[in-house]
């Protein structure tokens, strides 16, 4: 990656480039590009620096924001609780490791429970 940003170009496609990947046409992964059987996801429980609240974290996700944002919404509905997708991790409030593991395996992912 270079240390400078291009601010002007006479190329007509310059303004059409994707704001995330910077390419035209966009090279960002799409939701349909994910093959779950090729990925292993890890689930852990976190309690530190969260005010005593327990959070189930799914981490080491492949880089596909559109797909995992959709998965995060389905997991929140399944568990009946809040959560978020950020920094390539899905956080679901509460201890829902078994429900989440079963759902992700149903989608085709390999799942490992991490931590104690």
pLDDT of residue 80: 95
- Interval 21-52: pLDDT, tens: 777 777 776 656 677 888 899 999 998 888 88
Cα separation, 15 vs 32, whole angstroms: 26
Identify the CA nearest to 102 among candidates 115, 111, 93. 111
> Confidence class of residue 2 from pLDDT cuts 50, 70 and 90?
low
Map out the domains of the chain as residue ranges: 30-113
The CATH architecture that domain 30-113 belongs to is: 2-Layer Sandwich (3.30)
pLDDT in tens, 69-113: 999 999 999 999 999 999 889 999 999 999 999 999 999 999 999
pTM above 0.75, yes or no: no
């Amino acid at each position: 990656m270079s240390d400078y940003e291009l601010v002007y170009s006479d190329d007509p496609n310059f303004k059409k480039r994707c704001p995330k990947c910077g390419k035209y046409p966009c090279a960002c992964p799409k939701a349909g590009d994910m093959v779950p059987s090729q990925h292993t996801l890890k689930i852990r429980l976190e309690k530190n620096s969260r005010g005593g609240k327990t959070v189930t974290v799914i981490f080491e996700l492949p880089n596909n924001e559109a797909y995992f944002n959709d998965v995060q919404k389905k997991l929140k509905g399944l568990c009946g609780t809040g959560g978020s997708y950020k920094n390539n991790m899905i956080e679901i409030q509460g201890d829902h490791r078994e429900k989440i593991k079963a759902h992700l395996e149903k989608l085709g992912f390999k799942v490992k429970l991490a931590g104690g």
